[in-house]
Amino acid sequence: MSGSGKGRGRAAFTFNIEAIGFAKGETLPEVAFKPPPLFPPTDFKPVPLKMGEEEDYMLALKQEFRASMKKMPYFMQKEDENQGIEKYSKKYLQMRKESMEWTPDWRRLPREMKPRKKTKKGGKTKKGKVATPKSNVDVLKKIEELEKKGDEEKSDEEKEKEKDKEGEEEEEEAGNEQEEYDEEEHEEENDYIASYFEDGDDFGAGSDDNMDEATY
């Protein structure tokens, strides 16, 4: 068998290695076994930034623009779960922001964008109670939606347009029921089932008398 290249076990290339610049028989550079460093040292440092009036003005414009955008009603902040230390001032900041609510021009938007009037009211009461039972309302709404899911699956066969309409109706109902649930939620602060005890009629009066025993 003819040996490949110079001898057994020696590396051989299919081209003339002198073409790349390594002299014959010279040791090749090491093979790298790890990825290159994350911040390799550079031979040439970057050129300094352009300085001048124009650049300074644009810098100021950029920072002002960012600050203005944060104050606009378009900036939707995620409601923090844990308020931390800054609760007092945040209350006033939020009040100020809510006074600048923005309503888009509904004529230019698809019809499905407009929140239904009933849910809008439900939404407003939800905002008022945002500090208190927010998680409860979400859970109840989820239960509502899960109940309605049975109806949704039926409508899969129908056209999508009607599905949209139904979706809007669902939300309307969910909004209504949400208000009902809110009332119930407030009543049920304790473990007792409301239907057993009805305050009023015979509550205090009934227990004192021993009329039950003596029915002569």
Partner 1 sequence: MTQAEIKLCSLLLQEHFGEIVEKIGTHLIKTGSQPLRVIANDTGMSLDQVKKALCVLIQHNLVTYQLQKRGFVEYEASCSRVLRILRYPRYIYTAKTLYSDMGELIVEELLLNGKMTMSAVVRKVANRLTETMEDGKTMDYGEVSNTFVRLADTHFIQRCPMAPETTETSDAPPPPVPTLAVNEKDMYVVPNLNLIGKGKRRRSFDDEDDGEHKAKRQKQDADSKEPPPDDGIYWQANIDRFHQHFRDQAIVSAVANRMDQTSSEIVRTMLRMSEITTSSNAPYTQPLSSNEIFRSLPAGYNIVKQILDQYLTLLADDPLEFVGKSGDSGGGMYVINLHKALATLATATQESIVQERFGSRCARIFRLLLRKKHLEQKQVEDFAMIPAKEAKDMLYKMLSENFVSLQEIPKTPDHAPSRTFYLYTVNTLSSARMLLHWCYKSVANLIERRQYETKENKRLLEKSQRVEAILASMQATGAEEVQLQEIEEMITAPERQQLENLKRNVNKIDASENQVDETIFVLESYIESTVKKL
Residue among 95, 90, 97 nearest 69 (CA) = 97
Nearer of residues 25 and 48 to partner 1, judged by Cβ: 48
| Least separation in angstroms between CB 78 and partner 1 | 5
Q: Nearest-CA neighbor of 73 among 39, 97, 107?
A: 97
Q: How many C-beta atoms surround the C-beta of residue 105 within 10 A?
A: 6
Q: Is 99 in the site for partner 1 (CB under 8 A)?
A: yes
- Rounded to the nearest 10 degrees, the angle between the axes of helix 160-187 and helix 117-128 is 40
Residue 91, token pair as written in the block: 């209350």
Indicate whether 113 belongs to the interface with partner 1 (CB under 8 A).
yes
Rounded to whole angstroms, the Cα distance separating 100 from 114 reads 19
Task: Based on the shown chain and the rule CB under 8 A, indicate whether residue 7 belongs to the binding site for partner 1.
Answer: no
Indicate whether 124 belongs to the interface with partner 1 (CB under 8 A).
no
Site map (CB under 8 A) of partner 1, residues 30-69, x = contact: ------------xxx-xx-xx---xx-xxx-xxx-xx-xx
Q: List the one residue from 24, 34, 124, 159 that touches partner 1 (CB under 8 A).
A: 159
Is residue 136 within 8 A of residue 185, CB to CB? The reply is: yes
Gyration radius of the chain's alpha carbons? 37
Minimum distance from CB of 178 to partner 1 (Å)? Answer: 12
- Taking the C-alpha atoms of residue 164 and residue 152, their distance in angstroms, rounded to an integer, is 11
Q: Which residues bind partner 1 (CB under 8 A)?
A: 13-16, 19-21, 42-44, 46-47, 49-50, 54-55, 57-59, 61-63, 65-66, 68-69, 72, 74-78, 86, 92, 95-96, 99-100, 104-105, 107-113, 115, 119, 123, 159-161, 164, 167, 171
